[in-house]
Structure 1
Amino acid sequence: MYFIHAPFFLRWYYPNVTWNKSRQDKKLYLTFDDGPIPEITPWILDTLNKYQVKATFFCVGENIKKHTEIFERLISEGHQVGNHTFHHLKGWKHSDEEYIENVYKCHELTASTLFRPPYARAKKSQLRKLKSDFEIIYWDVLSGDFDTKITTEKCYQNVINYTKNGSIIVFHDNIKAIPRVKYALPKVLEYFLAKGYTFQTL
């Protein structure tokens, strides 16, 4: 089960994380989780370049190691990088020590103070220990692109229906998300740019 729009009880349970930015300005924050991988990340970068939009990529350390040239490209093109653990760990299934060690192993590659827990599954104790060194980024709009049961149009509508000023939007640069990302991302960019929004990095 997952929530397209972060419900109140999740915000209550994780009060010390960033769910969204200021609601005052027409700024949006596009993020991508799980890459970089050759099957989709370069296409995403090409699409962002086409629309002159910058985004934040929460990268998995082992993917950075495998695909260094793609990682270097996204940095050189002005995108922001975040930490998504080295092995894409689900915090609830790992000890605090193991999980935190994995985060810092990824930090050696990203040198980023932004961290997003994979699956949004992290223990409060893990987040408390990471809080001193990282801004912990969640989101308020999840596209659902990873869900192979939804249509490409549903993925697009998920973003359109819930995004507002200051929203942090999640897409994925992983293989199972490819059909929905390729359909929804250009349409999302066109829709919000036409409405006068700008896209910022975190």
Structure 2
Amino acid sequence: MPAPVRRLLPDCLWEMPGPDRTLYLTFDDGPVPEETPFVLAQLAEYDARATFFCVGENLVRHPGIARAALAAGHRLANHTHHHISGWSHSQADFLTDVARCQQELNRLLPAPEARPLLRPPFGRITRPLARALSTSHQVVMWDVLTYDYDRDFPASQCLQSAIRHSRPGSIVVFHDSVKARRNLRYVLPRYLAHFAGLGFRFAAL
């Protein structure tokens, strides 16, 4: 993500820099039965932990999958209830949608989090909206976008780009969605194997 964009959104978390070889994998848009169980199985092979930014509607439809992610040690986080854009909705409507998703998350979590995580869909958020959200949530962006959702992006290129841009502390975006299936199922196993072979660990935020 270009530095000027980061400077415009100083309240957002973009990466987790540190001395350790740790990567922070995140998965947007689930949980869904078609792809989330595949992701969980791949992560389990490497004793990897990740953060799942969940759409509230999908939590309502598939709570069992969300519970399976929690039981495996992963973190659930907010991706709004209806997967709405912060650019095309009013601040009031966006905050209401976030609150509704958080309500569904809180039904699943052992205890409400003091400052839950939120990723705006498409990364679309304004500076005033980010500031308003910062009072209740940590807004999480990324420094590596895999483009697994882009069906015009070849899977091999998707993998090469993700590997090239990842470094210790990177927050990496994948999608556990039907749209991302082709690239996700190619990239994720190879990405995990590559960095595990280099001695990296995978942690939840």
Q: TM-score, normalised by structure 2?
A: 0.94
User: In structure 2, what is the Cα distance between the partners aligned to 1:135 and 1:181?
Assistant: 26
Structure-2 separation of matches of 1:20 and 1:153: 24
Q: Given that residues 144 and 158 in structure 1 are in contact (C-alpha distance below 8 angstroms), is that contact kept between their aligned partners in structure 2?
A: no
Match of 2:127 among 99, 124, 129: 124
Q: Distance in 1 between matches of 2:4 and 2:152?
A: 26
SS of the aligned residue for 1:175 comes to coil
Tell me the distance in 2 between the aligned counterparts of 1:46 and 1:27: 20
Q: CA deviation at 1:135?
A: 0.8
In structure 2, the partner of 1:146 is: 149
Provide structure 1 residue ranges, at least 5 long, that are not aligned to the other structure.
1-5
Q: Provide structure 2 residue ranges, at least 5 long, that are not aligned to the other structure.
A: 107-112
Cα distance between partner residues in 2 of 1:14 and 1:24: 25
| 2:107 is equivalent to residue 104 of structure 1 | no
Corresponding residue for residue 14 of structure 2: 19
CA RMSD after TM alignment? 0.9
Higher mean displacement: 100-109 or 7-16: 7-16
1: CA distance, partners of 2:45 / 2:168: 23
| Equivalent position to 1:201, from 191, 196, 204 | 204
Runs of 4+ in 1 over 4 A off after TM superposition: none
What secondary structure is seen at the aligned counterpart in 1 of 2:24?
Answer: strand
How far off is 1:24 after superposition? Answer: 2.0
Kept in 2: contact 1:31–1:56 (CA 8 A): yes
Stretch deviating more after TM superposition (7-16 or 64-73): 7-16
Q: Bigger shift: 182-191 or 8-17?
A: 8-17
1:61 matched residue in structure 2: 56
Show the counterpart of 1:71: 66
Counterpart of 2:81 in structure 1 is: 86
The question of 1:191 aligning with 2:194 is answered yes
CA contact (8 A) 2:9 2:130 kept: no
Alignment match, 2:24: 29
d(CA) in 2 for partners of 1:23, 1:78:
22
Q: d(CA) in 2 for partners of 1:10 and 1:142?
A: 15
Q: Deviations over 1:63-93 (max 9, x none)?
A: 0001111111111111011100000000111
Provide the C-alpha distance between the structure 2 equivalents of 1:81 and 1:158, rounded to a whole number of angstroms.
Answer: 26
Alpha-carbon distance in structure 2 between the residues aligned to 1:150 and 1:22: 28
Cα deviation code 1:156-201 (max 9, x no counterpart): 1111010001000000011110010100001010110111111110
Question: Distance in 2 between the 1:16 and 1:24 partners?
Answer: 23
Structure 1 distance, partners of 2:6, 2:129, is 17
One-letter amino acid matched to 2:156? E
| 1:166-177 correspondence to structure 2 within 5 Å | 166-177=169-180
Deviation at 1:123, TM superposition (A): 1.8
Distance 2:43 2:199 in 1: 17
Q: Distance in 1 between matches of 2:179 and 2:100?
A: 26
The normalised TM-score by structure 1 is 0.95
Deviation track 1:110-165 (CA, whole Å, cap 9, x = no partner) reads 23500000001012221111101111100000000011101110111111010001
